[in-house]
Structure 1
Amino acid sequence: MLTVLHQTFPQHTFLMNGLIHGVKGLLSFLSAPLIGALSDVWGRKSFLLLTVFFTCAPIPLMKISPWWYFAVISMSGVFAVTFSVIFAYVADITQEHERSTAYGLVSATFAASLVTSPAIGAYLSRDYSDTLVVVLASGVALLDIGFILLAVPESLPEEMRPVSWGAPISWEQADPFASLRKVGQDSTVLLICITVFLSYLPEAGQYSSFFLYLRQVISFSSETVAAFIGVVGILSILAQTVVLGILMRSIGNKNTILLGLGFQILQLAWYGFGSQPWMMWAAGAVAAMSSITFPAISAMVSRNADPDQQGVVQGMITGIRGLCNGLGPALYGFVFYLFHVELNEMASVEPLGKASKANMANPTDERGIIPGPPFLFGACSVLLSLLVALFIPEHSLALRSGSHKRHSNGAQAHVHGPPGGGSDSKEPLLEDSSV
């Protein structure tokens, strides 16, 4: 993608990269709660199909028309919010005590794809052509869509759907800002969203530049970067499957989140001050442990939400992450610029590697003292996130706004309550007659 980006915008490669991610992230932030809320109304499968399709749709355009590719990938942020639908789907088919493990499996399979796909793509591109990579990726996307159509059942039962396809939807249900108002009204939701924002902002920025940073500042070779991705990915899979389940059972949901944030602070600080390859490897192992944070947060949100609100609450968390995906790369790029650390994918790696080693030896150069300044800014952000997370209650019924009505009125609450939770979260959903 960076090669095509540089060929299309040779003078402003990283500026356009930030702009594209920024537009996509902002659109995801606005649309994720709405998509999640509508999946509470119409079911998960159709929206799972929709989000996967729009996430993968730009891929063939990379070879057909780069301009259209970048335009479509920016606008695809409206529907590229698969995680909110998937996590709501998982909540439909699991018991509360199973969800942390289930969310860990979802995140682990994502990590597994992240481990394998860069190596496969790099090998095919080097030995064959970029065209084959694009064709193969498009083929995998089509297989994914076919799998959803033929093999994935609907998870939301009929009695849980307040309305059917074709029925009118009120503006309160379709209002993309309704979930934002709910965040301001509910202290528990607000604390969780702030925690996600402050912790995922540096993570999103790190994803956008870290492997390039390893090559040009730490002087990793392409093969070493691929090995690094593989090792950290495998450790992340173990952390999100085996370790996460053990921690959730032994120390509880909230303490697992705090531990994950602690690992993330240590990892970012180590990246920030580390100047030797072995330091990056050690910090990578810590980074794998920090990957338990997001599934633990998703499990907490799911446990404290009603069955017919799983889509909207997971959409809120995914929307916050989408916003960070837009702001994080811009933040890291700006901090690198302030500290005169230039990252240019098309530049030769070796000269910059030698220059960076010379700067390390010069104590008067800020890069000699702090090789990775954005990572230290990220560590401070996650520290604030940890302080906010300390105030999240371990058990809260704040999101279960219609629980007591449902207990007394059975399935009628599902028929009359608005799925998006647009009304005041402290009032029963049954009292809102907007449907």
Structure 2
Amino acid sequence: MTDAATPSTTPSGGRQAGFGFIFALALMNAVSFGIMIPILPQLVRELAGGDTAAASEWTVVFAVTWGIMQFFCGPLLGMLSDRIGRRPVLLLSLFGLALDFLFMAFAPTLWWLLLGRILNGATAASFSTASAYLADVTPPERRAKVFGWMGSAFSFGFIMGPTIGGFLGQGDLRVPFLAAAGLTAVNWLYGFFVLPESLPPEKRATSFDWGRANPVGSLRLLRSRMGLLPLAGVGFLFQFAHTVLPTVFVLYTTYRYHWDSRTLGLTFLLTGVLGVIVSMFLVGPTVARIGERRTLLLGLAATAFGFAWYGWADTGWLYLLGAPVFALSGFIMPGLQGLMTRRVQPHEQGQLQGANQSLMGIGSILGPALFGEAFARALRGGHPPGLPIYLASGLLVAALSLAFAAARAPASAPQPAE
């Protein structure tokens, strides 16, 4: 058996080409999604006949629909990548994303937008399959650092995306979606012609197990390894809590601090730059110095404190002072992924990521409902406006408690699941 860090099917230099593609994939995906941030709500409102309340309701429908599709399809795509390889699934995911952007560009009604969300939710496995790809080509001791680099790609994308979207959308709201579709198509072409496969045939799953290619069946893998299910719980709580920001950030900061679009844009820029610094320059040295477990615990503690600070801050300047601490949330996923990928074999990496993606789908369903309702109740009932952010902080405290017991490196190599 060959080392997972150097797949037998990868030609000389293929490992570097593979990481370059994965980094570009993460960057282009983040830019593409960032382009939508200032534009999609306006398009939804336009298709809703200018009714802001209806646009808000449709936005929730889109988010919940996407989460449901992820919940059911994430394990299936993860298992598929273990059986036929990462490359075909990545190409399928990029194809679905490009089609979704085209639906947004040409949709005549909200129902067409919803169809695009269904298609994207069913095929969206680019990040989870990319994580499995990186686990294939990276030694266990270097995975946390590499996952940190992946995080920096997303930070770069969210710095550039909203700026590009705002600029392109000034004349026509549809143009940014065409640009996003073009970026995704370029990435698909690069993957089709250049990307080497990371999982050689001898390391693939020998069959496609329908019993595990579903949300319930995927839990069997999480239960089959010591500490894997609690670690998945840590990831779920973090992703669940993190949905508070896209759900209430704009409403919260404009209500409490009276921020305008310019201030919001500068805040996105600040948090993006801080995210890049943490992911590119701090994750690797921190993991090397204190290990994956302590890096994860540090990230969880900092994020819990950062959320609590955001909820407490009664001025915009105080809010921004908490941003450097909250940026340490960039430690969480690299440390967590490093620990989780050590616990499974090469032919199970896709299944692991699919199970994680299914849990993320649950978070994207529950998060907007919980935090949106909490913010509404806070304003109507005289409670602190930071109530939903305090709830997010509480979820991170629970994740920290869970991680203390579960986040330990396995003592031996993983054994096949029964």
User: Shorter-chain TM-score: which interval?
Assistant: 0.7 to 0.9
- Residue number in structure 2 paired with 1:413: none
> In the alignment, which residue of structure 2 is the partner of 1:286?
325
Contact 2:75 2:212 in 1 (8 A): no
Residue 107 (structure 1) shift: 1.4
The correspondence for 1:366, drawn from 359, 382, 394, is 382
Change in 2 beyond 3 A, CA 1:255/1:284 = same
Q: Distance in 1 between matches of 2:197 and 2:143?
A: 18
Is residue 2:387 matched to residue 1:385? no
Hey, what's the Cα distance between the residues in 2 that align with 1:175 and 1:269? 36
Cα distance, 1:74 vs structure 2: 3.3
1:104 to partner: Cα distance? 0.7
Structure 2 CA distance for aligned equivalents of residues 185 and 45 of structure 1: 27
Q: Following TM superposition, by how much is the alpha carbon of 1:224 offset from its aligned partner in structure 2, in angstroms?
A: 1.5
Q: Distance in 1 between matches of 2:141 and 2:220?
A: 30
Aligned residues between the structures: 374
Map of 2:36 onto structure 1: none
Q: Which runs of 5+ in 2 are unaligned?
A: 1-39
Q: 1:33 to 1:175 in 2, by over 3 A?
A: closer
1:72 maps to: 116
Is residue 137 of structure 1 aligned with residue 180 of structure 2? yes
Structure 1 residues 136 and 175: CA distance shift in structure 2, 3 A? closer
**DSSP-derived class of the 1:130 partner:** coil
Give the SS at the match of 1:153.
Answer: coil
Residue among 128, 134, 139 paired with 1:90: 134
What per-residue deviation string (whole Å, max 9, x for no partner) do you get for residues 47-77 of structure 1?
0011122123211222322421222213421
- The letter for the 1-side match of 2:358 is G
Distance 1:121 1:289, change over 3 A: same
SS of aligned partner of 2:408: coil
Is the 8 Å Cα contact of residues 205 and 330 (structure 1) preserved in structure 2?
Answer: no
Looking at structure 2, the residues matched to 28 and 171 of structure 1 have their Cα atoms a distance apart, in angstroms, of 17
1:10-409 correspondence runs (5 A): 10=51, 11-65=53-107, 66=109, 67-126=111-170, 128-163=171-206, 169-172=208-211, 174-184=213-223, 186-340=225-379, 366=382, 370-396=384-410, 400-402=414-416
Aligned identity (percent) is: 25
Match in the other structure for 1:410: none
CA positional deviation for 1:176: 4.5
Q: Distance in 2 between matches of 1:74 and 1:328?
A: 19
Amino acid at match of 2:43: V
2:283 aligned partner, one-letter code? L
Give distance in 2, aligned partners of 1:214 and 1:185. Answer: 44
Task: Please give the alpha-carbon distance, in whole angstroms, between the structure 1 residues aligned to 2:208 and 2:224.
Answer: 23
Measure how far apart 1:42 and its partner are. 0.3
Deviation at 1:371, TM superposition (A): 2.8
- Aligned pair in 2 of structure 1 residues 38, 125: CA closer, same or farther (>3 Å)? same
The question of whether the paired residues in 1 share the 8 Å contact of 2:300 and 2:400 is answered with yes
Report the Cα offset of residue 305 of structure 1. 1.5
Q: CA deviation at 1:32?
A: 1.5
Structure 1 unaligned segments of length 5 or more: list them.
Answer: 342-364, 403-420, 424-435
Indicate conservation of the 8 Å contact 1:274/1:371, yes or no. no
Are the equivalent residues in 2 in contact too, given 1:43–1:156 (CA < 8 A)?
A: yes
Q: What secondary structure is seen at the aligned counterpart in 2 of 1:387? A: helix
Distance 1:170 1:395, change over 3 A: closer
Q: Max radius of gyration: which structure?
A: 1
CA RMSD of aligned residues (A): 2.0
**Which secondary structure state, in structure 2, belongs to the residue aligned with residue 60 of structure 1?**
helix
Secondary structure at the counterpart of residue 339 of structure 1 = helix
C-alpha distance in 1 between matches for 2:244 and 2:348: 30
Instruction: Provide the secondary structure at the position in 1 that maps to 2:124.
Output: coil
Name the aligned partner's letter for residue 275 of structure 2.
Answer: S
Separation (CA, whole Å) in 1 of partners of 2:390 and 2:209: 46
Aligned-pair distance for 1:217? 2.9
**Shift in Å at residue 162 of structure 1?**
4.0
Greater Cα shift, 2-11 or 284-293: 2-11
